[in-house]
Amino acid sequence: MMKMKIALVGISGYGGMVLYQMLQHHSQVTQIELYGHQQTVPTPLSQVVPLFVGDHTHQVLPYDSSKIMAHNDAVFFATSAGVTSQLAAPFIAHHFPVIDLSGDYRLKQPATYEKWYHKPAAKLADLQMAHYGLAELNDARHQSYIANPGCYATATLLGLAPLIQDHLVDVDSIIVDAKSGTSGAGKTPSAMAHFTQVNDNLQLYKVNEHKHIPEIVQQLQQWDSTVSAIQFSTTLLPITRGILATIYVKATPTTTATMVDHVFQTTYANQPFVRYTGQQMPTIKQVVGTNYCDLGVIYNEATHTIMVASVIDNLVKGAGGQAIQNFNQMNGFDEADGLPTDVLLP
């Protein structure tokens, strides 16, 4: 296997920090160069991110696409929405491997991106070329530009995939009640994420307006073209990390509990990072710090309603962990290389 040199653009946010930590434990990565798109001079990492006070070897370099391509074999972007669309063109033109954690290349239509993100979209041809990297179901081999899915989208799509792909449910009945810890809101302080507001509280936000909705619908439509929309709400939890997506959907008249159990078992039988727990409902605590998605499913025959509980760590499986999974698939590496499986305790 080829050892690789990696560039990481965007280290100051939570997603970039966690991705950097994981890449340091990847057996096939020999070098990590850090770049800041707002950096003007090389700056010690410990000055840019004081949490890395013990890292005396790495500097954050001013962004330069030519240097990145000259010195590295692939680049990860852990940047905010609206940044990668302004920076990625040279990499796309040269078919240079990119794993993009932002939302800039997830949606195939520029108008859809602009409607949901309220920012200028990348060029249509570039959007069409990007691969939506839902790692368990959209294999990234032979791809050069990976649009890494959003955290809510990852939890929701993995929970819905067996039911939609096997046509066991009424696609007009999908309701998703998703809840996330505060790290999902990013590092920039806000009134909503202030400790006094978050602590001992639950807050609904961006109901039917969250940026991850269109990518969820877009992928569902790839599995079943009759999907038109979903009901989707998001709630801020008084915890740091983790997502619980509780999904409700009506079963078709011929669907049985045995069929539901069977499709989850078979869909994820060979997927090391999805654990199907049957009627045992998973909790956020059992996945925090890991790249796992745990799925519990209950079919209420009295109401013909299937409930799926999907839990992930939003900073690992919902961001950098899945990005490394895609990187591993791109390069034919062991899919688990560099990915954490030990839950953070207590």
Residue 212 has pLDDT above 80, yes or no: yes
Closest among 316, 308, 263 to 282, alpha carbons compared:
308
Reply yes or no on whether 293 is catalytic.
no
Residue 1 has pLDDT above 80, yes or no: no
Catalytic residue among 11, 49, 151, 169: 151
Q: Residue 305: in which H helix or E strand, if any?
A: strand 305-312
Q: Which amino acid is at 56?
A: H
Matching CATH number, 152-314, of 3.30.70.3170, 3.30.360.10, 3.40.50.11540, 3.20.20.10: 3.30.360.10
Q: Where in the chain is the domain with CATH 3.40.50.720?
A: 4-148+317-331
% of the chain surpassing 90 pLDDT: 96
Residue-level pLDDT at 2: 81
Matching CATH number, 4-148+317-331, of 3.40.50.300, 3.50.50.60, 3.40.50.720, 3.90.850.10: 3.40.50.720
Output the six-digit token pair for 145.
């530009």
CA distance 168 to 251: 6
Q: Where in the chain is the domain with CATH 3.30.360.10?
A: 152-314
Query: Counting beta carbons within 10 angstroms of the beta carbon of residue 38, is it exposed (0 to 12), middle (13 to 18) or buried (19 or more)?
Result: exposed
- Please give the model's pTM, rounded to 2 decimal places: 0.97
Residue-level pLDDT at 185: 85
Residue-level pLDDT at 189: 85
Q: Residue 18: in which H helix or E strand, if any?
A: helix 14-23
Output the six-digit token pair for 10.
């965007």
User: What is the pLDDT confidence band of residue 37, given thresholds at 50, 70 and 90?
Assistant: confident
Say if residues 20 and 321 touch (Cβ distance below 8 Å).
Answer: no
Residue 196 has pLDDT above 80, yes or no: yes
Q: Which amino acid is at 140?
A: A
Question: Which residue in the block uniquely carries the two structure tokens 């796309």?
Answer: 92
